[in-house]
Structure 1
Amino acid sequence: MDQQFKQGYRMHRVLSNLNRLDVDRLDEADRERVENARDLLEEVSLLTRPGDGAGADAHADS
């Protein structure tokens, strides 16, 4: 399994696990941490997703 695939799979698994949490049972600080983690993982996922052209555009602008 290539390294990029492994990293993408791990990000997907972490995001899936965060989405399964019952955040209603967490205190406010933990809910905020979960929300921040979800946002960051979704942002990274969008930036690293192959084949959508986003990565190519980002490199072309640099």
Structure 2
Amino acid sequence: MNPDVEQGYRLHCVLSNLNWIETAGLDDADQERNEAARILLQNVSLLSHPQHSGDVDTQVES
């Protein structure tokens, strides 16, 4: 699977799971964490990648 498609799929799954959590049964701190996580995930863009400095050896597993 294309790595960008796989990352997008994983983000979609996590966001879907967070949306399905019944927050009424959670305490206030957990409700805030859930909301913060949903907002952060909604703002993720797969088109923006951090600049690679070249200082670290990285390998992508496929």
Q: Which TM-score band (shorter chain)? A: 0.7 to 0.9
Paired amino acid for 2:23: V
Residue in structure 2 matched with residue 32 of structure 1 by the alignment: 32
Paired amino acid for 2:10: R
Number of equivalent positions: 48
Could you tell me which runs of 5 or more consecutive residues in structure 1 were left unpaired when the two chains were aligned.
50-54, 56-62
Residue in structure 2 matched with residue 48 of structure 1 by the alignment: 46
Higher relative contact order (CA 8 A, sep 6+): 2
CA offsets 1:3-61 (integer angstroms, 9 cap, x no match): 000000000000000000000000000000000000000000xx336xxxxx6xxxxxx
The normalised TM-score by structure 1 is 0.72
Residue in structure 2 matched with residue 60 of structure 1 by the alignment: none
Could you tell me which runs of 5 or more consecutive residues in structure 2 were left unpaired when the two chains were aligned.
49-62
Q: Kindly, what percent of the aligned residue pairs are identical? A: 50
Paired amino acid for 1:48: L
Computing the radius of gyration from Cα coordinates, the structure with the larger value is 2
The normalised TM-score by structure 2 is 0.72
Moved segments of 4+, more than 2 Å: none
- CA RMSD in angstroms, aligned pairs only: 1.2
